Chains A and B, each alone.
Chain A
Amino acid sequence: MDFKITKNANILTLVLIAVGLLFTGIGVVIEAGHDHGHHLGQRLAGNLLIDSFFFFGIGLGALFFLALQYATETGWYASVKRVIEAVAGFLPVGIILMVVTLLIITLQDGAHIYLWMDEEVVKHDEIIQGKSAYLNKAFFWIRTLVYFATYYIFWNGFKKRSLLEDQVGGTDIHFTNYKKAAVFLVFFAVFSSTSSWDWIMSIDVHWFSTLFGWYVFAGMWCSTMVVLVTLTLYLKKQGYLPNVNESHIHDLGKWMFAISFLWSYLWFSQFMLIWYANIGEEVTYYITRIKDFKLMYFGMFLINFALPMVLLMSRDAKRHAGILTFVGAIILFGHWVDVYIMIMAGSMGEAAYIGFLEIGLLLAVLGLFLKMILKNLTKAPLTVVNHPFLDESLHHEI
């Protein structure tokens, strides 16, 4: 059955975009009047980075999740494969958003976000000079383009083969996907780490953490799982996806539950080791966060960790659409706050606050994100027909 975007959904995404842009406009006006517009450029660029990275990350997470299913030759997911593909289909738009954002930041010599792009700052900073062999504009862009090109090529290949499989069947495509996914995961393992150093960790340019890449990756994977669960539940409620039963929902819920723990585990590992060692150049990262973002930072951790733990622990909760959506919506916002703090604490510091600009841009990009996903869902039949594990997925029961 082909998916058709309902009128309400269409209106909702348009309203989100319109309200978002309106709020962003109000935010820009307020910020321009505040302190002679001193922070306007930085705040705008920072927000662009937050929202384009957050939603790009969800698309990338879906591509990773799809590759994971291919590489492990999983069976159960065949019924929800097109949902995963629709979310991964946001990737090209996410890449465009990221490229535009990074271009804007680069053209402003870092926009007070990437301090290492500002030659004046680097001249007086020995630590940044020591890192400039890696952190310079040219190499940064080479790496960034390599990441995007790799992600795009693999995404395009998976998409084409998935549609082709519907027509020709057989197992050849399956084994091609299997191999390509394994290769993709190898690239992704390296790139997900280095790209998060480039785009996010370099904001706190004096500081580094070796598990930062996993931490960022776990956050975006968790957001992806929330989006996949809620989108599947939405489609189910609209009467699509007849093959998706409670067990599939349960499995997606389990992923959301488990990855929340992965993220919390990495958050804690990073925090505890730095707290324990108590080395001056390392603790500055947390001192900024505790000084300027105390409530938001620890509140975000508590919500993203405790809420799924308490509410999604039981088997019944992971099969309950209401509970899954409720918890999902809250921790999705929690992970957005995580990205917000990652980017704002190191750049704007105490001047940062969530106002019209932040909420507005979030809503606008969210609207665009939902619009693109719904559009992607219409482009392919919602049920795959020739997937070799389709039968296993139909009888999935746990």
Chain B
Amino acid sequence: MADKVIYAMYDDDDVLKDGAKKLVSKGVKVSEVFSPFPIHGIDPIIGVKNTRLGIMAFMYAITGTLLATIGMRYFMIVDWPMNVGGKPNNSYLQNILAFIPITFEFTVLCAAHGMALTYFLRNKTLPGLPAQNPDPRTTDDKFVMELRLSENSSFTEEELTALLQTTGYVELDQKVLN
């Protein structure tokens, strides 16, 4: 089904935020905002759900902790017990202090890489994938708000444009999606 999309471009994130507030209070659904950096406080305004990235981060972190523990126990205790400063080398628990820094580092490594990859994957922004933003300037210093006519069936295109007029955009663009 053909859908018409309106892109309103702003040159200030606060102007966009105030504009979005105004539109949402009139019952308009803002489907997406494109910005070069995270705009604080925009999520609750346009109704973006809380991210579940934190849950994934926890899972990646636990994976890291486990892998580090299993790995180091195998390397240092089971496979080739090493005598470091006369510490008992047949026990992981008695030497746990020595393993904490690496466990910590590996936990952070797994959590950070896992989160970054998940984020790219979920947003379809892995290197080489086609760009999702409507205008390359939103990676520089411009901010774009996206309204879909299919999601705003109670408004006509003219009404939406008229409402946008009051929000102080700098450019208006339209696109028909198939």
Contact = CB atoms under 8 A, between A and B. Distances in A.
Interface residues of B, number: 10
Contacts of B86: 278
B40 A272 contact: no
B93 interface: no
Nearest to A397: B41
Contact of A272 (B41, B84, B85, B100): B100
Interface string B85-120: 111000000000110110000000000000000000
Interface string A236-279: 00000000000000000000000000000000100110011110
Nearest to B41: A397
B85 A277 contact: yes
B40 A398 contact: yes
B41 A271 contact: no
How would you classify the secondary structure of chain A's contact residues: helix, strand, loop or mixed? Answer: helix
A275 B85 CA distance: 10
Contacts of B97: 271-272, 275-276
Given A397-B41, A398-B40, A276 B100 contact: no
Contacts of B85: 276-278
A150 to B, nearest CB: 36
A268 B100 contact: yes
A278 to B, nearest CB: 5
B97 to A, nearest CB: 5
A170 to B, nearest CB: 25
A278 B83 CA distance: 14
A275 B98 CA distance: 9
Interface in B40-60: 40-41
Interface string A142-181: 0000000000000000000000000000000000000000
Interface string B63-98: 000000000000000000000111100000000011
Nearest to A314: B54
Q: Which of A271, A275, A398 has the most CB of B within 10 A?
A: A275
B98 A397 contact: no
Given A276-B84, A276-B98, A398-B40, 12 more contacts: A268-B100, A271-B97, A272-B98, A272-B101, A275-B97, A276-B85, A276-B87, A277-B85, A278-B86, A278-B87, A397-B40, A397-B41
Interface of A: 268, 271-272, 275-278, 397-398
13 contacts: A268-B100, A271-B97, A272-B97, A272-B100, A276-B84, A276-B85, A276-B87, A276-B97, A276-B98, A278-B85, A278-B86, A397-B40, A397-B41
Q: Which 8 A-B pairs have the closest CB atoms?
A: A397-B41, A272-B97, A397-B40, A278-B85, A275-B97, A398-B40, A276-B98, A276-B85
